[in-house]
Copies of this chain bind each other. A is one copy, B any other.
């Protein structure tokens, strides 16, 4: 009965045939159900062969805290109602920032169990109605990617932010700062104040409203939806103890274990992964993630970023979407938004941020809840 002896396999293979995402940002006039409907409509509009909403048999909604943010619990059947899907079974999954990737695992298992063929998985968070505030090479890279993502909350480069600051000072007749490059701007404590060392403002993911969803189907049915399915070939999830009990601060044990399970199931190695969306809630978290995933040796992550290896044109592009940092981080939606980005990249439809590699086949998502209490890793393959 030991659990460690097996790379387990799903009883039935599962594929992704559609992905949608709302605009990410701050939307005072929308609540989370509006955002989910927007993501769902975006998915429907881009399904290769369309579908009847009534064919969806089951749904999962990742959401961290509609309870506190919107004073509304039991959100899953509300989403079902707004999508016109009642009475399909629909369940809310809450694992903090890993809520929607945990939801995706439930969708995968629901299909693999034999109970369902067609399952909608999504997530959403409405966050900006609460008061809050909230860099380095990772920030520069992810803002460059975000500038190529029309749905990103920060659809703008760090250089543009610097230029805007200069222009504003000139307009207002204030002393005009001189920035010789982006890093110079990021080192200006006026432009980029300290939050908590070593993190400045632009090291932190923003507070974001947004939703995202994907459509999972039994692989044998994928051809009914698209000629370009993306298969889920690996999934791993692990829990972790609180950060104050962690063995080290530059690695998350849950991430390493979840990754290991996903690699085993997919029968691939970190070197096989061609691009990844990782949980860059803070710039340093992207580097920790890249090392936990085995892309780089411990301590080698920063140099890989410096050398451009994780940029759009590097050998291991990371967070081509702009990541949580620039795309935005609506907690309950982030995991599925990551999956959506890999889906689009593997299908060659990521537009100006498309990774150039013509042999793109394998991508990975890495989504963390809390301070590593939950981590979910998915490995996706072009069909």
Residues of A within 8 A of B (CB): 1-3, 8-12, 54-55, 57, 64-65, 67-68, 73-74, 76-78, 80-81, 85-96, 102, 105-106, 108-118, 221, 224, 236-242, 245, 253-254, 257-258, 369-370, 373-374
Other than the known A1-B118, A76-B373, what 7 A-B pairs have Cβ atoms closer than 8 Å? A3-B54, A10-B115, A11-B12, A74-B95, A86-B240, A89-B258, A112-B113
Closest to A374 in B: B77
Query: A87–B240 contact, CB under 8 A?
Result: yes
**Bound complex: CA of A1 vs CA of B112, how far in Å?**
16
Complex CA gap A106/B119 in Å reads 14
Residues of B within 8 A of A257 (CB): 87
Q: Contacts A110-B109, A240-B87: A221 and B55 contacting too (C-beta < 8 A)?
A: no
A237 to chain B, nearest CB (A): 4
Among B9, B11, B54, B92, point to the contact of A95 (Cβ < 8 A): B92
A110 to B110, CA, bound (A): 7
Task: Evaluate contact between A109 and B118: CB separation under 8 angstroms.
Answer: no
* Contacting residue for A224 out of B1, B55, B90, CB 8 A: B1
Q: Once the chains bind, are A239 and B65 in contact (CB under 8 Å)?
A: no
Interchain residue pairs with CB less than 8 A apart (14): A1-B55, A1-B221, A10-B114, A11-B11, A68-B68, A73-B94, A73-B96, A76-B95, A77-B254, A81-B245, A87-B240, A90-B239, A91-B93, A112-B115
The residues of B that contact A254 with a CB separation of less than 8 Å are 77, 87
Copies of the polypeptide in the assembly: 2
Task: Tell me if A113 and B238 are in contact (CB < 8 A).
Answer: no
Residues from chain B with Cβ under 8 Å of A1 in the complex: 55, 117-118, 221, 224
Contact (Cβ within 8 A) A373 B74: yes
Give min CB distance, A261 to chain B, whole Å. 8
Complex Cα–Cα for A1 and B1 (A): 37
CB distance A91 to B106 under 8 Å? yes
Q: Determine the chain B residues whose CB is within 8 A of the CB of A110 once the complex forms.
A: 109, 113
Q: How far is the CB of A22 from chain B (nearest CB, A)?
A: 22
Q: In whole angstroms, how far apart are the Cα atoms of A242 and B74 in the complex?
A: 11
Give the distance to chain B from A123, nearest Cβ to Cβ, in Å: 13
Q: Which of A10, A77, A118, A370 has the most CB of B within 10 A?
A: A77
CB distance from A48 to the nearest CB of B (A): 15
CB nearest to A256 among chain B residues: B87
Closest residue of B by beta carbon distance from A56: B3
Task: Report which of B81, B113, B258 forms a contact with A108, defined as CB distance below 8 A.
Answer: B113
Contact at B114–A9, with CB atoms within 8 Å?
Answer: yes
- A370: chain B residues at CB < 8 Å are 74, 77
- Given A3-B118, A55-B3, A94-B74, answer yes or no on A239-B373 (Cβ-Cβ < 8 Å): no
